[in-house]
Amino acid sequence: MKLIDFENHFYDQCLIDALESRTEPPYYRKDTDLITWSDAITMPQGPLLEKLLQVGEERIALMDTLGIDCAVLSCSPGAEQLDPAESAAICRRTNDVLYQLVQRFPGRYLGSAILPVKDVPAAVAELERCVKELGFVAWHTHSNYGETAPDDPRYRPIFQKADELGVYVYLHPQLANASRVDDCGFPVAGPGLGFTMDTVTTLTRMIVGGLFDELPNLKVMLGHLGEALPFLLDRMDNRLKFLPNPKAKNKQDFSAYFHRNIYVTTSGNMSPEAFECTRRVLGLERILFGSDYPFEDASDMVEYVKNLPLGEQERSMLYYKNAQALGVHV
């Protein structure tokens, strides 16, 4: 049975070089092997950085071992936060490298574009190039860009272009800007809690801001089985019904957008209980496999989904059939 990995990360060396040349966050220091994401948060790299840079034969061999037929490759955080001109150059270089990987390993990799979002016209043009010329299937972005976030109306033209081109948007977590959990350390401020808090806030603001009413065919994908939102949806819907909210531009309940516009992946969440909650609330047809490699052990993720109590037809939906609704055919 085919298996498509919808969250598989990489770096090109050009971004690491750019981060190493900086004096303000985000920056990388080879002597300490740390990326400083903010004044309060640093992230040790160690073997992680080496794995992010290994996207040739080593990555393909791992996929072969685990039975992953195809992976959607996406650039890890950093490029979007650079100054606009540098970001444009790094994003274009990274996308070109990704295209070369897709060509080098036909059928094994698909491309997800990274864009210089702080220059909106340049981002729109780069997304069009990536889809029409390079054949990419998605735009990979993050829950914030430092002082701004994707829900800001200034970025609406990029979403409009994604909708026009028929590609989905992967909304990946990023460290929040000046979060109250910063002083709890990276494991809490990042993957333990902060990532979810920031992504939930960004997607909620997208919904309340009317993004999916303006673009009813837009598809957005979340990791971590929906960033806890399946658990929260009923209460969010309930409060919308009973409490007036003149600021809300959304015309439907929150859950309506999850059944029409939102998909989720298994990436980074190996809880059977969380999977069952997501399945019951959203339906299996909204869930896809994601390994979150190398931030998670891909072998653990594959073993986790293998052990889920699914029939053969259900497993095929999770593994590859649900991808067809996103225009991804392998």
Q: How many CB atoms are located within 10 Å of the residue 154 CB? A: 11
- Reference 195, options 176, 179, 177; nearest CA is 176
Query: Where in the chain does DSSP place strands (E)?
Result: 4-10, 27-29, 34-36, 42-44, 70-75, 109-113, 138-142, 168-172, 220-222, 262-265, 287-288
- Note whether 287 and 305 are within 8 A (CB): no
- Reference 201, options 174, 221, 225; nearest CA is 174
- Note whether 174 and 143 are within 8 A (CB): yes
- Note whether 267 and 291 are within 8 A (CB): yes
CA dihedral defined by 312, 318, 322, 326, rounded to 10 degrees?
Answer: -160
Which residue is associated with the tokens 């991804």?
328
Q: Is 93 helix (H, G, I), strand (E, B) or coil?
A: helix
Which residue is associated with the tokens 């009317």?
210
Query: Exactly one of 17, 292, 297, 300 is catalytic; which is it?
Result: 292
Can you tell me the distance from the alpha carbon of 28 to that of 49, in angstroms, rounded to the nearest whole number?
11
Can you tell me the distance from the alpha carbon of 140 to that of 76, in angstroms, rounded to the nearest whole number?
9
Residue 300 among the catalytic residues: no
Annotated catalytic sites, by residue? Answer: 292
